Structure 1
Amino acid sequence: MPLAAVTTDPLGWISISACLIVGFFLLTKGADWLVGASSQLAKRVGVSSLVIGLTVVALGTSAPEIVVSTIAAADGKVAISIGNVLGSNIANIGLVLGMSALILPDILHTKLTKRDGVWTFVALGLLWWVSSDHRIERWEAGLLLVGFVGYNAHLLFTGREEILEEEAEHEGHYHHPVPLLLAGLVSILVGAKIVVVGAESGALRLGISEAVIGLSIVAVGTSLPELAAGVGGALRGEGDLSVGNVVGSNIFNLLAVVGIAAMVHPFQPENEPAEAARALEHAFDRALGVDFYVVLGFSLAGLLLPFAGGERGARTKGLFLLACYAGYIAWLYLGAR
């Protein structure tokens, strides 16, 4: 790229740097509050940290996906809505789980129950089924939301019966975990927004196309809360919470995020103007023909990789996930050119 293509306005770059610094600070601090408060909350309500990660933390860190996908659907931009969900799921496994495994290798050997694996593929299968005819009507969106309610009810029912084999020692003790948990979620969400704005502005100043920005920075941006919570959990030795956050967020995205977005604005080509209808058909073609199977592959890797080679080479497995994600981003970039 020619040197002249790079913007060198010092005020602009200072603002961008400030956004990134403040955003990452909020992400880091928010993740610390979120993980610590969630751990205390788990002890108080009598469920495992894994269940808290699969529910409370996953729901909170998936808030950006809800906002982005719902607004995109309301604006008739279903490609962004669906792509955000599938892309975030890929980032959660490749980037979040991979990065967390580098920090806490044992994280890949967290004992996810058969329940969690089953629900992952139930969510994938249900989304594929309701969208296989290139449309998602309100009753189908409602079916996705019913599935999400059933998933959480099942988690809370079985979570009280789970017995943790080990209970990590945590620094600090929070007497009021709920307010701190909410503060952590808000901090993460605000920090993620600031980081996305700063990164997007920087990318535009460097002359990177908007298509590549949308496929990479925006997709990763909505997964920053999961990354912050996952890495924060790993740093505090909360492997169950980190893995639960990834698995729970992915199921949340597939069932609740798509369900809410399609409930607000059903994905029906016949109700759209001609150009929007063609874009909607193309979005479903791409999602069902390519992206869905990429999500399936990453989901299988995330669930099966812990069983490959025993407990040795856990960091290598984390690097493998990161390499796969980097390859996916490179493939997207080359395909978008």
Structure 2
Amino acid sequence: MALQIVLLIAGLALLIAGADWLVGGASSLAKKFKISDLTIGLTIVAFGTSAPELVVNLFASTTDHQDIFFGNILGSNNFNLFIILGIAGVILPLKVQVSTVWKEIPMSLAAVVAVYLMVHIPSPNGEMMLGRIDGIILLGLFVLFQFYIYRQIKEYTPEETAHKPAGPLFKMIAFIILGIAGLIIGGRLVLDNAVLMAKALGVSEKVIGLTIIAAGTSLPELATSVVAAFKKNPDIAVGNIVGSNIFNLLLVSGMISLFSPVKYSPIFDIDFYILAAGTVVLFINLIAWRKHRLDRWEAAMLLTFYVGYTVFLISRQG
């Protein structure tokens, strides 16, 4: 058991490092070919923050551990919403832009509803699943979301300054290769050892996916939002969470289901409901009295709710 814990932690570290190396190398390579910072941010960096979830879920969906797939997607989003936003909000009351409140948060809720409806519409063989057609639709919605973000940033971003020298080509390629290797090895370590831990502890793969794996793959978002809160930048702290949740539901779910259709179990319905309810409550809190702010006591309530949710998961045992 101790060995599995060590290997799981090592796998998570490799996932995070691999995503960082891949983003760094790919961003430098893009700059070398004069691709704008805006485009890099919307593509390479965005992909990098979703890479841990993507790789773990790719392995899970192709090795008959499909409860881990849905557990990780829903668990990561709930962890983002309740824990990361809760911690950031306790550090700093989060004043949020009007566009985030009235556009991005409803988009996040729409993504939850879209995936929920897709898995509850039976496939031609009568099974509940995310199929390839669903994957195409989700990726199409993701492209539309990217276009919306591009328009938003383009509207408020000043002309870019000249690019700094990007560095030696071999160094960029080395970082890209190291990043991909780290993601692959780390993803495999996380999945294999999480499954072994679940068996050793006598808990379901659903619970492991919703808790340990979800928290581990959300570490990049945790670091980003906490640092943003300490630097008194609430827009990044909140935008990072809302954007990440949309990416997980549209990009990660879309890519995985397009590559390999994933069977769905109704045991995850409650986790969908909690994610949707949490998003609605966040929206209501931000529009109440037109304050557009998440206060410390509200953030503390998010943290408290997540503790109760985790206790419920463990007691329910999938």
The normalised TM-score by structure 1 is 0.66
Q: Does 1:335 align with 2:316?
A: yes
Q: How many residues align?
A: 276
Confirm or deny: 8 A CA contact 1:58 1:226 kept in the other structure: no
Change (3 A) 1:113 1:265: same
Confirm or deny: 8 A CA contact 2:88 2:237 kept in the other structure: yes
List per-residue Cα deviations over 1:120-168 (Å, max 9, x = no partner): 133123212321221222122111111101110121023222489xxxx
| Counterpart selection for 2:141 from 126, 144, 147 | 147
CA deviation after TM superposition for structure 1 residue 247, in Å: 0.7
CA distance in 2, matches of 1:250, 1:72: 19
CA deviation after TM superposition for structure 1 residue 215, in Å: 3.6
Confirm or deny: 8 A CA contact 1:116 1:247 kept in the other structure: yes
Change (3 A) 1:156 1:89: same
Partner of 2:212: 217
Partner of 1:137: 131
CA deviation after TM superposition for structure 1 residue 336, in Å: 1.2
CA distance in 1, matches of 2:88, 2:43: 19
- RMSD (CA atoms): 4.2
1:69 counterpart letter in structure 2: N
CA deviation after TM superposition for structure 1 residue 244, in Å: 1.4
Which structure 2 segments of 5+ residues have no match?
A: 122-127
| Counterpart selection for 1:306 from 286, 294, 317 | 286
Change (3 A) 1:214 1:126: closer
Partner of 2:124: none
CA deviation after TM superposition for structure 1 residue 113, in Å: 4.9
Higher mean displacement: 208-217 or 119-128: 208-217
Partner of 2:154: 160
Q: Does 1:316 align with 2:270?
A: no
**SS in structure 1 at match of 2:130:** coil
Percentage of matched positions with identical amino acids: 29
Change (3 A) 1:234 1:125: same
**SS in structure 2 at match of 1:76:** coil
Partner of 1:275: none
Which structure 1 segments of 5+ residues have no match?
A: 1-6, 165-173, 268-279
Higher mean displacement: 109-118 or 60-69: 109-118
The normalised TM-score by structure 2 is 0.70
CA distance in 2, matches of 1:67, 1:219: 13
2:307 counterpart letter in structure 1: A
Partner of 1:272: none
CA deviation after TM superposition for structure 1 residue 257, in Å: 0.9
Change (3 A) 1:300 1:58: farther
Confirm or deny: 8 A CA contact 1:74 1:264 kept in the other structure: no
